[in-house]
Amino acid sequence: MNRPKHLLKGIPVLASLNIKQTVDFYKLKLGFDRIGYLDDNYAIIARDNFVVHFWKCNDKIHPENTSCYVDVQDIDQLYIEYKSQGVIHPNGPLENKPYGMREFAILDNFGNLIKFGEELEQSDL
C-alpha cells in the first residue's frame, strides 16, 4: 500500500535552565547563527539545516538527562571546531563506531548531550 509521506524531519526540543545563556552558548561556542524565536521561556535557533528548540525548566535533571543526535557532513572539521571551543564530552571523542557511524559528543552549558555523526563509507567499517 502506498501511503502519503507526512513526516518531514525531527527537531529536538531540549531543556534549558536559562534561555538567554543557552542561546549565547550555542551562538558563541557552537556557531549557531539564526534565531527564529526568543523569549524568557522558549527559543528556536539554527545552524545550517539543524534547528533546535529550547524550553525553560527549573530543574537540572531535565537537561542532564536529555540528548539528541545530529547527522552531519565533514565531521572531522566540525570536531576540530568544537574541540577548540572546549565543548567535547569527556567520554565523547571522535571515533568510528561498529554500527557504521563516525561520531563525537558534546555537552551544552546545562548538560544536554548532543551527538554528531556521519555515516562511514563501507571501506571504513
Residue 81 pLDDT: 98
Contact 110, 57 (CB under 8 A): no
Q: Cell for 27?
A: 551562538
Contact 14, 52 (CB under 8 A): yes
Percent pLDDT > 90 in the chain is: 90
Q: How confident is the model at residue 88 (pLDDT cuts 50, 70, 90)?
A: very high
The answer, yes or no, to whether residue 61 has pLDDT greater than 80, is: yes
The answer, yes or no, to whether residue 124 has pLDDT greater than 70, is: no
Q: Which pTM was predicted?
A: 0.91
Helix (H, G, I), strand (E, B) or coil at 34: strand
Contact 34, 45 (CB under 8 A): yes
Helix boundaries (H) for 1-125: 19-28, 75-84
The residue-averaged pLDDT of 59-81 equals: 98
Residue 122 pLDDT: 74
Go through the domains of the chain in sequence order and give each one's CATH number: 13-58+66-124 (3.10.180.10)
